[in-house]
Amino acid sequence: MRRKILTTAIGVVLAAAILIVAVSMVELSGKQTEIWKNGEKDSLTTIGFSQVGAESDWRSANSISMKRTFTPERGYDLIFEDAKQKQSDQIKAIRKFIQQEVDYIVFSPVVESGWDTVLEEAKRAEIPVIIIDRKVAVKDSSLYAAWIGSNFYLEGQKACKVMKAYVDEQQIPEVNIVNIQGTLGATSQIGRTNALEDAAQKYGWNLLEQESGEYTEAKAYEVMSKMLLEHDDINFVYCENDNEAFGAIDAIRDAGKTVGPGGDIQIISFDATREGLRRTLHREILINGECNPWHGEYVEKVIHMLETNELWQKEMYVPEETFYSMPEDMQIMLGGKEYTVQTVTESIVQKREY
């Protein structure tokens, strides 16, 4: 009997000891995951990240940039949520991050509108929000600490300026262009579309039709096929990312037409992914406007400045180029500034990481 009581007592003490150790190894406060290593308390900065989705090669690179920057070895606990291009899922994810009391919320807003309420909730919870890639249209800009991304209107302006030079050099009498747009309401779609519309008006191009290809290859194939049935005089297609360009090129070829040098239709694209630049090198794509996806390091800089109370820029534009398939580099002037348009080479393609 005594042995039985003794055994039970040892079991209870052991169980309690395991429980105490277990508790010390997990989140002791919602704010930070506190990891005990060799008796040293080591806390990770928790980051809730809501990503648009995985709709394009560009988006995958953007996700890699965040995952590569915010690792436990570098002092972070990254909570990654994929919204599958649905704003409702992004709002749900942000609310979950607030419940989890993360240190920072980072997100790429699938569209610009509809964020005021959830960002006010984050503000009330005193969780700084950093926005990357696309922008939010909110009444109160104090709802977010910083935005990091591209100047999408300028991307479009540069591409249209190069296209104008090509049209003049090739003495093309008439430009009949269709626009396969990105996700409607996304800052990247708004900027690139506006640039095309302004260029078409300025240069007298016929903008025959515009429809969203949702930044995906499949939807762009469907939209391009429809446009080819409706218009037999298309000679340019302005796609708002590479995956749309891939779908459009397949649809053009399936309709018995050609792209590239001396072809029926010339393609303008954006993102300058490795595959997009490979096709630009082989002249399937005429012009490709780079969109830099490497935002992780910039987000980390903002976090560091927030933590050390340094002043930071509210808006940070990432560097990016324009590429094209003609034999030598070109200089273009826009808004009093000179830009170099780079001819794509095999080594540029090989060096491309995404």
Exposure pattern of 17-52 as b/e (b: 16+ CB <10 Å)? eeeeeeeeeebeeeebbebeeeeeeeebbbbbbbbb
Site for ligand GZL in 283-342 (CB under 6 A): 291
Answer whether 32's CB lies under 8 Å from 46's CB: yes
Site for ligand GZL in 90-109 (CB under 6 A): none
60 Ramachandran zone, left/alpha/beta (phi>0; psi -120 to 50): alpha
Answer whether 136's CB lies under 8 Å from 112's CB: yes
134 touching ligand GZL, by CB under 6 A: yes
24 alpha carbon, distance to own chain's centre: 38
271 touching ligand GZL, by CB under 6 A: yes
155 touching ligand GZL, by CB under 6 A: no
Contacts with ligand GZL, 207-226, as mask; x by CB under 6 A: --------x-----------
- Compute the least distance from the CB of residue 238 to ligand GZL, in Å: 13
318 alpha carbon, distance to own chain's centre: 12
- Compute the least distance from the CB of residue 113 to ligand GZL, in Å: 15
- Dihedral (CA of 321, 325, 330, 334) sign: negative
- Compute the least distance from the CB of residue 85 to ligand GZL, in Å: 8
Q: How many beta carbons lie within 10 A of that of residue 165, not counting itself?
A: 16
Q: Could you give the C-alpha distances from 117 to 85, 90, 186, 244, in angstroms and in order? A: 19, 13, 19, 33
Site for ligand GZL in 39-58 (CB under 6 A): 55-56, 58
Query: For ligand GZL, which is the closer residue by CB, 242 or 284?
Result: 242
- Compute the least distance from the CB of residue 81 to ligand GZL, in Å: 17
Query: For ligand GZL, which is the closer residue by CB, 34 or 211?
Result: 211
Query: For ligand GZL, which is the closer residue by CB, 80 or 203?
Result: 80
Which positions touch ligand GZL (CB under 6 A)? 55-56, 58-59, 133-134, 150, 186, 188, 215, 241, 270-271, 291
